[in-house]
Amino acid sequence: MINKYKDLVIDHYNNYEEDERFNRKTQYVEFFTTMHYIEKYLKKGMKILEIGAGTGRYSITLAKMGYDVTAVELTSKNLEIMKKNAEGIKNITCLQGDCLELDMLQNDTFDLVLNLGPMYHLYTQEDKDRAISETLRVCKSGGVCIFAYLTHASIVWGYGVRKGKLANLEYCLEDDGKITDTPEEIFTSYYIEDFKKQFDGTDTTFIASVATDAIFPMMRDYIDDKMDEKEFNILLKWHLATCERLDQQGYSSHMIYICKKN
């Protein structure tokens, strides 16, 4: 299946320093929370796949923990950085590939499959369904899949309000508050219930929906520059205790959807 929009995504990441994305405290929350949930499902001897691995932050962390990791990345720039970051680690394989066409990977191969970026950049329902189908195809029966996605609120508040770009968004804001999938805007977003509906009819069991960074990104100026480490750690502990609550999820910038393949 041809991804006719992949050049837009590649161009975006060629001009973005993905390897620096978790450098600030408020950005680190997303990684910390996602890893917290990944670790819930880790078992000795697992084979792990990450689709859309970027520069390898998750994949390399898991490989260093001793797991057999395969990391697939679309963008040549990110792939080369990941390979450099992974030098000397023998239990990680870094491949170039598209989430819509994972033909180099066999069915029912991996115990844990991470899809932590591709759903940000798919603009048709056909492509979204294909990415989900490919992720599930390569996962073993009984294995766990974790998908990351962006909320509509993250675009409106994080981009529109914080960056003073609401006027730029007006043309793609629908009457029900959704943001129209628009390739030129690069990122796509969802309501939580709409993301979950995409798994209706798949042979999966829902496990959890998690707000991985809640409103941390919207509070970044205060948290990053004024909050001390003690307060930050208190807030982080509270976040982990509440990130599955529905009343904490609607304004989260990043979400993860966790399911088991039956």
| Residues 262/206, Cβ–Cβ less than 8 Å | no
Please report which confidence band the pLDDT of residue 250 belongs to, taking 50, 70 and 90 as the band edges.
Answer: confident
In this predicted model, which residue has the larger pLDDT, 103 or 17? Answer: 103
**pLDDT over 90 at 25, yes or no:** no
As a whole number, mean pLDDT of residues 27-45 equals 96
**pLDDT over 70 at 189, yes or no:** yes
pLDDT of residue 1: 58
What are the DSSP E strand ranges found in 46-176?
Answer: 47-51, 68-73, 92-96, 110-115, 139-150
As a whole number, mean pLDDT of residues 2-23 equals 76
pLDDT of residue 162: 87
- Of 18-22, 162-166, 226-230, the range with the lowest mean pLDDT is 18-22
Tokens of 250: 């609607």
Please report which confidence band the pLDDT of residue 19 belongs to, taking 50, 70 and 90 as the band edges.
Answer: low
pLDDT of residue 185: 86
pLDDT of residue 10: 79
Q: What are phi and psi of 29, to 5 degrees?
A: -55, -40
**pLDDT over 90 at 16, yes or no:** no
For 15-124, where are the alpha helices, taking DSSP H only? 25-38, 57-64, 76-85
Distance, CA of 131 to chain centre: 13
What's the longest Cα–Cα distance across the chain?
52
Residues 45-78: pLDDT tens digits? 999 999 999 999 999 999 999 999 999 999 999 9
Q: Hey, which residues does 208 pair with through a beta bridge?
A: 258
**CB contact set of 206 (below 8 Å; sequence gap of 6+):** 196, 199, 257, 258, 259
**pLDDT over 80 at 103, yes or no:** yes
Distance, CA of 139 to chain centre: 17
- What's the first-to-final CA gap in the chain, in angstroms? 25
**pLDDT over 80 at 91, yes or no:** yes
As a whole number, mean pLDDT of residues 180-206 equals 95
| Residues 79/94, Cβ–Cβ less than 8 Å | yes
C-alpha–C-alpha distance, residues 224 and 228, integer Å:
9
In this predicted model, which residue has the larger pLDDT, 182 or 62? Answer: 62
Does 6-261 carry CATH code 3.40.50.300?
no
The predicted model scores a pTM of 0.95
Residues 106-157: pLDDT tens digits? 999 999 999 999 999 999 999 999 999 999 999 999 999 999 999 999 999 9
pLDDT of residue 197: 98
pLDDT of residue 2: 63
Mean pLDDT of the chain: 94
